[in-house]
Structure 1
Amino acid sequence: MRLVIYLQEKAGHLREVENVKAVARLRNHLNTDNQLTEQGFEILIRTLKSFKEVVGTYSLTELVCVATATIRQANDQEAILQSVQKETGFSIRILSEKEEAFYGYLAVVNSTSLEEGITVDIGGGSTEVTYFKNRQLVEAHSFPFGALTLRTFFKDIIPQEKEIFELRHFLMKQFSSLPWLFQKQVPLIGIGGSARNLVQMDQAMKKYPLAGLHQYKMRSSDIQAVMTYLNGLSYNDLWKVEGLSSDRADIILPTITVFSSLYETIQAESFILSRKGLRDGVFYEQLSKELGTYLFPNVLEDSIQELINDYDLHPKQILHVQTLTRKLFNQIEEKTDLDWYPVDWQLLKRASYVFNLGKYIDSESSSQHTFYLLANRTIDGLLHNERLELALVASFKNKTVFNQYIHPYKDWFSKQRRKKLRSLGSLLKFAYCLDATKRQVVEDFTLEVTDKGLDLTLFCTQDWMPEEYQAEKQKKHLEKALKTAINLQFKRKEEEKTLM
Structure 2
Amino acid sequence: MSEQHYGIIDIGSNTVRLVIYERSESGRFKEIENIKAVARLRNYLGEDLNLREEGIDHLLSILRSFKKVTDTYDLEQLLAVATATIRQSLNQDTIIKRVKDEIGHEIRILSEEEEAYYGYLAVVNSTALSEGITVDIGGGSTEVTYYKNKEIQHSHSFAFGALTLKQMFVKDDVPTPKEMEDVKEYLMDQFKSLSWLEGKRVPVIGIGGSARNMVQIDQSLKSYPLAGLHQYRMFEHDMSFIKSYLLTLSFKKLQKVEGLSKDRADIILPTIEVFHSLYEVTDATSFILSRKGLRDGVFYEQLMEDFNISVFPDVLEESFNELAIDYNIDYKHVHQVTHLAQILFDELQEAEVSHLTREDVTLLKRGAFVFNLGEYIDSESSSQHTFYLLANRTIDGLMHKERLMLALVGSYKSKPIFKQYLHPYKHWFLKEEKKKIKTLGALTKFAYSFDSTRRSVVEDLHVEVKGEDLNIVAFCNQDPMAEEYQVEKQKKHLEKAIKMRVNITFTQKG
Q: What is the TM-score of this pair, normalised by structure 2?
A: 0.96
**1:332-380 residue CA offsets vs partner (Å, 9 max, x unmatched):** 2113444222221001111111111111111111101110110111000
Structure 1 unaligned segments of length 5 or more: list them: 495-500
Q: How far did residue 448 of structure 1 move?
A: 2.1
Pairing 1:104-183 to 2, within 5 Å after superposition:
104-152=119-167, 153-183=169-199
**1:303-325 residue CA offsets vs partner (Å, 9 max, x unmatched):** 01111110111111011111111
Distance 2:457 2:476 in 1: 5
Q: Which residue of 2 aligns with 1:99?
A: 114
- Report the aligned-residue RMSD: 1.0
Q: Which residue of 2 aligns with 1:343?
A: 359
Structure 2 unaligned segments of length 5 or more: list them: 1-15
Q: How far did residue 175 of structure 1 move?
A: 0.6
Distance 2:91 2:468 in 1: 85
Aligned residues: 494
Distance 1:63 1:14 in 2: 15
Pairing 1:26-425 to 2, within 5 Å after superposition:
26-152=41-167, 153-425=169-441
Distance 2:33 2:251 in 1: 34
**1:104-153 residue CA offsets vs partner (Å, 9 max, x unmatched):** 00000000000100000000000000000000000000000100010020
Q: How far did residue 207 of structure 1 move?
A: 0.3
Distance 2:80 2:247 in 1: 38
Q: Which residue of 1 aligns with 2:17?
A: 2
Read off the aligned partner of 2:154 and give its amino acid letter.
E
Q: How far did residue 58 of structure 1 move?
A: 1.2
In 1, are the aligned partners of 2:353 and 2:498 still within 8 Å (CA)?
no
Distance 1:328 1:66 in 2: 54
Read off the aligned partner of 1:199 and give its amino acid letter.
V
Q: Which residue of 2 aligns with 1:498?
A: none
1:449 and 2:462 matched:
no
Distance 2:138 2:465 in 1: 63
Distance 1:429 1:83 in 2: 62
Q: How far did residue 154 of structure 1 move?
A: 1.3
In 1, are the aligned partners of 2:347 and 2:464 still within 8 Å (CA)?
no
Read off the aligned partner of 1:440 and give its amino acid letter.
S
Q: Classify the secondary structure of the residue corresponding to 1:61.
A: strand
Instruction: Please say which of residues 89-98 and 326-335 is displaced more in the overlay.
Output: 326-335
Q: Which residue of 1 aligns with 2:4?
A: none
CA 1:469/1:96 → structure 2, altered by over 3 Å: closer, same or farther?
A: same
In 1, are the aligned partners of 2:390 and 2:404 still within 8 Å (CA)?
yes
In 1, are the aligned partners of 2:141 and 2:157 still within 8 Å (CA)?
yes
Distance 2:170 2:42 in 1: 17
Q: Which residue of 2 aligns with 1:497?
A: none
Q: Classify the secondary structure of the residue corresponding to 1:22.
A: strand
Distance 2:28 2:227 in 1: 23
Q: Classify the secondary structure of the residue corresponding to 2:460.
A: strand
1:24 and 2:39 matched:
yes
Q: Percent identity?
A: 59
Read off the aligned partner of 2:414 and give its amino acid letter.
N
Distance 2:228 2:495 in 1: 35
Q: Classify the secondary structure of the residue corresponding to 1:362.
A: coil
Q: How far did residue 191 of structure 1 move?
A: 0.2
Distance 2:312 2:451 in 1: 33
Read off the aligned partner of 1:454 and give its amino acid letter.
L
